Amino acid sequence: MSNVGRPPFVHCVPHPEGERFLLLHPETMIARTFPPKPGERWPEAVQRFFEHEPLLTEDDLRARLREIGIEDSAATAQIERARRVSALNTEFSWDRITTIGYRNREGQEVIRKTDRVGSAPAQRVFILHCTVCDHEYGSDGCDIYRRLCPKCQDGAPGLST
């Protein structure tokens, strides 16, 4: 087994004062979040980890990357990748997908959120309306993006509403 650690990766964070970056070392992140503390789930442990990491400006990030031996071209590539991932996360955030009125590319539209617990872990049931055949059915929030209508598109059966 190699004693050389994985290189850090950069994560772009929206911030009221402009974009900020996290410099994440995979070994440190895993060591501080896994296993989670008693009564804590892993996503909560990761959130706790992120809350204690310093947010860096682009200049501070570039200086830190130079200190650990990462060349400017590699730093630029990391920053650009982080910005692309951040933009993608904004476009496909779960908040946006579960917003009333969101319509996936198959024509399934979110019409309301229920208080019912979904069939997948930590999921809530949403009521979808098929704009193709007018069928309404329940779906886990995590399934909305790729959901097909159970009546006219051979999708999985809907959850009870």
For the segment 27-75, what is each residue's pLDDT rounded down to a tens digit?
887 888 778 888 878 777 777 887 788 889 999 999 999 999 999 999 9
Q: H or E element: which one contains 26?
A: helix 26-33
Q: Which residue has the higher pLDDT, 108 or 42?
A: 108
Token couple for 154:
């051979």
121-142 pLDDT per residue, tens: 778 899 999 999 999 999 998 8
Taking phi over 0 as left and psi of -120 to 50 as alpha, with beta for the rest, 139 belongs to beta
> Residue 63: what residue type?
A
pLDDT value at 3 more than 50: no
pLDDT value at 117 more than 80: yes
Question: What percentage of the chain reaches a pLDDT higher than 90?
Answer: 45
Give domain limits for the chain. Answer: 9-91, 97-146
Token couple for 94:
């779960």
1 band by pLDDT with thresholds 50, 70 and 90: very low
> Contact 153/135 with Cβ under 8 angstroms?
no
